[in-house]
Amino acid sequence: MQNQYCKVGTITPITSGNQAVAVLKFRYQSFLEKAADATYINTNLGEFFNRKAQELKKVLETLA
């Protein structure tokens, strides 16, 4: 029996440059939307998404 390698959970690094900024901006907006949607359902989940958005905002500010 041969070994099989599963790609589930593998991480693809974000390339540098304009593509990285675009991906991070998309993720930032996505986390903000999820935080707004989850605030009414589950406060802890909304806070989690909000913290993730703030972390991405800091990264974007350092790149800009």
- Residue 47, CA distances (Å) to 3, 14, 19, 38, 58 in order: 42, 25, 28, 9, 17
Identify whether the C-beta of residue 38 lies closer than 8 Å to the C-beta of residue 49: yes
Q: DSSP letter at 8?
A: T
pLDDT score for 41:
79
Domain boundaries of the chain, sorted by first residue:
18-63
Contact present, 28 and 60 (Cβ < 8 Å) = yes
* Residue 50, pLDDT score: 92
Please report the pLDDT score of residue 53 as a whole number: 94
pLDDT digit string (tens) for the chain, length 64 residues: 577 666 676 666 676 667 888 888 999 999 999 988 887 777 888 899 999 999 999 988 987 6
Task: Kindly report the backbone phi and psi dihedral angles of residue 25, in degrees, each rounded to the nearest multiple of 5, phi listed first.
Answer: -65, -40
pLDDT computed for residue 15 by the predictor = 66
Main-chain phi, psi angles of 22, to 5 degrees = -65, -40
